[in-house]
A and B are shown apart, each in its own frame.
Chain A
Amino acid sequence: MSTTAPRRDERSDPRYARPDASMSLLTNVMEHSLDEGYAEEARRSGRYGSSRLPGTLRGKLLLGLGLAMVATILSMGVSQVQRSAPVAAQQRQELINRINQSTTTADGTQQQVAQLQAQLDQARRTAASGSGSTQLDLLELVTGTTPVSGPGITVTVDDAASAGTDLNNASPRAGAGFGNTGRVRDSDLQLVVNALWQSGAEAVAINEQRLTNLSAIRAAGDAILVNDHPLTLPYTVQAVGGPTLQQNFQDNAYGGLYLAQLKQEFQIRYDVSAQGGLSLPAATVGPLLNAHPSPSEGTKQP
């Protein structure tokens, strides 16, 4: 039915769309570039095709007003662009200035860092050669974290020959227990060391185990432990001190007199001799985990 419809009706028939219907928007833009209002107005006034410039004064004024508005908006736009260009350039220049300024500041800071580094090096060098290093050395000596050498005495203490520990000299653990009265006990060594400190010893080591403020002389099983190291016989106590150290020690109640008592009663063997040049090793002190310098107390000069 519909296929027999006349061709001239195609355009009015909605079933027959224009081939460029999908481009109607573009077609509209292309074909109706002129405002429809002009044609309508011309048709209404009956001057279609002959209306060129307005003849009336009112029309002329309106055209002048319109052209004035057009000229205003155009020149405003131009001046806006002209004005914003220097602003943009100014902002750009400002940014460049800020970059340069920041670069200069960074350079200055870098120089300052280098200067402070040099100052720090200088200060460290000064401290190393001045009183600070003396104090540090002293503290290291006192705490036993540095090897020391100097004159002093050596106190050698050994079990009584009857204790039977001589046979397995290097292994006190295999010997008789501390119940044997012929054996040197940890408390004996503690007393001897205390006597040495009292007599003016400045550094003490037992069997190459340097005594520090963290050292303990204790018994574990059949062995005497210093700094948690088991000692082997004989016990050699080295003490650095002045020339009066030996005499003081011999006269001390828990020094020479006590050892003499032990020798007399239990046949403990001991020997005290002055040494010209003793060399005491440094103690291996682990890091302190809980002790911190108290800020309120300040540091006391040793």
Chain B
Amino acid sequence: MIAVLGLVVGVVVGLFVQPDIPAAWVPYLPIAIVAALDAVFGGVRAMLDGIFSDKVFVVSFLSNVVVAALIVFLGDQLGVGSQLSTGVVVVLGIRIFSNAAAIRRHLFRA
């Protein structure tokens, strides 16, 4: 119940309140979103595995988003920003896919 409420609040905040993102942070938003997706899929899989931990979920989500954005920011400063963001997306994409596969195995036994 609280989880659903959290989701709704988050969507409302994101869509209607539209918190001001500093313009310098805008390029890192897509990477942060991919990292957030990775944390969500990981959390769902952990839940299905029966090892879910709310603390780990929140911490992993926050650290994923921050680290991903930080890596790309560092890459931008070094002039390899686009390559690094590609790398981050590839790694996170592989994790999302394998987590999604595990979720699928749990749900469909296949």
- Where the two chains meet, the residues of A that have a C-beta atom closer than 8 Å to any C-beta of B are 29-30, 33-35, 37-39, 41-42, 45, 47-54, 59-80
Contacts and interface: CB of A to CB of B under 8 A. Distances in A.
A79 B14 contact: yes
Contacts of B9: 68, 71
27 contacts: A34-B42, A34-B45, A34-B49, A37-B59, A37-B60, A38-B42, A39-B51, A41-B53, A41-B56, A48-B51, A49-B49, A51-B52, A52-B52, A53-B52, A54-B54, A66-B6, A66-B43, A67-B3, A68-B7, A69-B61, A70-B40, A72-B10, A73-B32, A74-B37, A75-B13, A76-B14, A79-B14
Nearest to B90: A29
Nearest to A40: B56
A75 B14 contact: yes
Contacts of A33: 42, 94-95, 98-99, 102
Q: Which of A39, A51, A71, A80 has the most CB of B within 10 A?
A: A71
Contacts of B10: 67-75
Contacts of B5: 64
B9 to A, nearest CB: 5
A98 B49 CA distance: 59
Contact of B50 (A35, A52, A67, A71): A52
B60 A35 contact: yes
Contact of B15 (A38, A45, A54, A79): A79
Contacts of B58: 62-63, 65-66, 69
B21 interface: yes
Contacts of B98: 30, 33
Nearest to A58: B54
What is the predominant secondary structure among interface residues of chain B facing chain A? Answer: helix
Contacts of A61: 2
Nearest to B43: A66
Interface of B: 1-3, 5-11, 13-15, 18-19, 21, 26, 29-30, 32-33, 36-37, 39-40, 42-43, 45-62, 65, 91, 94-95, 98-99, 102
Contact of B6 (A42, A59, A71, A80): A71
B2 A34 contact: no
Nearest to B46: A38
A76 B57 CA distance: 20
A49 B58 CA distance: 20
Contacts of B8: 71
Given A63-B2, A76-B18, 19 more contacts: A29-B94, A34-B46, A47-B50, A49-B51, A53-B47, A54-B52, A60-B1, A62-B54, A65-B58, A66-B6, A66-B43, A68-B6, A71-B6, A71-B8, A72-B13, A73-B14, A74-B10, A74-B37, A80-B26
Nearest to B14: A75
A64 B6 contact: yes
Given A33-B95, A70-B10, A60 B3 contact: yes
A76 B29 contact: yes
Contacts of B15: 75, 78-79
B54 to A, nearest CB: 4
B46 A73 contact: no
Contacts of A80: 21, 26, 29
Contacts of A72: 10-11, 13-14, 19
Given A61-B2, A63-B2, A42 B53 contact: yes
B52 to A, nearest CB: 5
A49 B71 CA distance: 34
Contacts of A39: 51
A70 B39 contact: yes
